[in-house]
A and B are shown apart, each in its own frame.
Chain A
Amino acid sequence: MGEHETTGIIESIVERLPGNKDIYFWNFIVLMVFTLFEVGAVFFETVPGTEIRISRFAVWTILVIVGIVKGYGIAAYFMHLKGDPRIYTRTALFPVLFVLLMLWGIGLSNPEAITELPSWCTPDWDYATSR
């Protein structure tokens, strides 16, 4: 989303498409299709037209993959990180380190990691003394 032009595999594919060759337009179409796919994966309990059951693992995998594709489409093209100087990508990715730390330390920690904190970690908190 700026003045910079971008080059790459995706751009060269878009160049060969008939009709509209605007990368933003095709990015928009891809995002719409993938969202449809995402909602459909959860909405249908079986693959439409068949009796093949969509497992929870498949749904979970689809949600993660679609999320990554959509995230890339928005950040790289709509936010134009792909054409901008690298410092912007580094700025955007800088918190990822902390995010991973939080996901590991808080998100995936033992359930008792927060509620069972020792009292010296939680001065004056009611539950620190009651537990």
Chain B
Amino acid sequence: MAGAIVTIGIVAFAALGLGVGSIKHDAYDDAKETYYEAMEDPTVTQSELDHLHHEEIDAHLSYLTYWVAGVTIMVISIIYAIFLGIGGFINSIQPQEEESHGDDHHDEHHGSASPIIFCFGVLLFLMGFPDFVEGLRPLLSQGGTFALGNLVLSTIGLTIIMIGIANWWREDLPFIGHGEQIATSAPFEGEHIRKAGLWVFIMSEIMVFATFFSSYLRVRTEWCTKWAFDNGLENGKPVEGCVSQSQIDLFDAGEVVTGDVVMTASDYLRPGGAAGTGDFWTMLPGAVNTFALIISSYTIVLALKTAKAKDWEAPKGVLRHLLPDKKTAVRNYLIATLLLGSMFIVLKLVEWSHLVAEGFTVGTSQGSIFYVATGAHGMHVFAGLLIMLYLVFKADTIGYDEDNGQGIEYFGLYWHFVDLAWVVIFPAFYLY
């Protein structure tokens, strides 16, 4: 499976990044050259010059779309393949049933050290992260002097994270639904401990995203955005540092009034935004991603329903080829979820590349909060995709049924939460 994924990644990179990307790059070079020549030609009017400039920008963004999509698909594929390779190796060294020394409950869930190992790794990684970034800078030809010491702490952290994940994979893979641990005391008495733990985790995640959102609200209320500027004009009330009384008077007299407004991401993305770059195509990646997350929420529900169904029947018609039996159906629903989530990451990075190319960088306070908040959400999606890859692996080998299907349910809770966070992020950062 890992080989197939890497092949898909390389083919996608060759087709999109190198194939179409190089054609688009040539078109971009031509458009740029035409524009520069026109700039030196005194017979060319300003409107023609503007038109050529727009063509140059469109050609650049078109090139970026294919190049970034190709590179992202390849990188994601390689990470998936490495992850699956490690998982396959761990699976191959699992003790066989007859070697289990008479322990009939080796497939039960026991207390696990994996989360604490994982968290310790995350702690070390984050502690070393600022140095890690400085260490990577010279490696990516971004200036600075290379010092191996900068990379040490985060690399140790990453290694411990991998050990934690590998150990968790080794422990969970043989679980076929016997011995799910039940809470014996209030407030979760009688409930599965894993489910209760996941909800407490989601509770902490709500707090994480609330900090991003409140920070955004805090700075947003201070910015003189086009929304704030237009509202100030229409309401006829001066706003300090944004709308003056003289501008209101001009507006009331029927004049077109412009002001020095702050550009947010939505100004670049939505039609009518202050940057003037927004149209159907700039809005498309965010909108498609929103639908992709909702559809992926539904496909994971279908995976769980199928796994839990006692009398599952294969559908009729074309779908029968995709869902011939219960085990394959669960796996394919999970693969569909994985593909939709992967598409989300690809489109997000394409969209980011466009925003950066248009000048909306992380160097401004608007860019900073946008990239940090949407990037944190993207990281959650990507982490979810790696877990989903494990679910696909288990669905393909051990299989999910009514006894152990809760593994999908608990992951589904996390995945739905990621969808829920997007319900807030999308309108706040992309539309408003």
Residues on A lying within 8 angstroms of B by beta carbon are 1-3, 24-25, 28, 31-32, 35, 38-39, 41-43, 45, 56, 59-60, 63, 66-67, 70-71, 74-75, 78-79, 85, 87-88, 90-92, 94-96, 98-99, 102-103, 106-109, 111, 113-114
B residues touching A (Cβ–Cβ < 8 Å)?
A: 187-188, 191, 195-196, 199-200, 202-204, 206-207, 210-211, 213-218, 221-222, 227, 230-231, 270-272, 280, 283, 287, 290-291, 294-295, 297-298, 301-302, 304-305, 308, 409, 412-413, 416-417, 419-420, 423-424, 426-427, 431-432
Which of A92, A98, A111 sits near B202, CB closer than 8 Å?
A92
A79: chain B residues at CB < 8 Å are 412-413, 416-417, 420
**What secondary structure prevails in chain A residues at the interface with B?**
helix
* Chain A residue nearest in CB terms to B420: A74
Q: Is A103 touching B214 in the complex (CB atoms < 8 A)?
A: yes
Interface of B is mostly: helix
B240, chain A: closest CB distance, angstroms:
10
Contact status of A45 and B217, CB under 8 A, knowing A3-B308, A88-B199, A92-B202 = no
B283 near A43 with CB under 8 A, answer: yes
Contact A1 B199 (CB under 8 A): no
Q: Are B427 and A106 in contact (CB under 8 A)?
A: no
Question: With A1-B413, A87-B191 in contact, do A107 and B213 touch (Cβ < 8 Å)?
Answer: yes
CA distance in complex: A4, B202 (Å): 20
CB contact between B409 and one of A1, A35, A92, A99 (< 8 Å): that residue: A1
In contact, B210 and A102 (Cβ under 8 angstroms)? yes
When A67-B427, A79-B417 are in contact, do A56 and B230 touch as well, CB less than 8 Å? yes
Distance in Å: Cβ of B237 to nearest Cβ of chain A:
15
Question: Which of A1, A38, A60 meets B416, CB within 8 Å?
Answer: A1
* Contact between B424 and A114, CB atoms less than 8 A apart: no
Residues of the B chain whose Cβ atoms lie less than 8 Å from the Cβ of A88: 195, 199
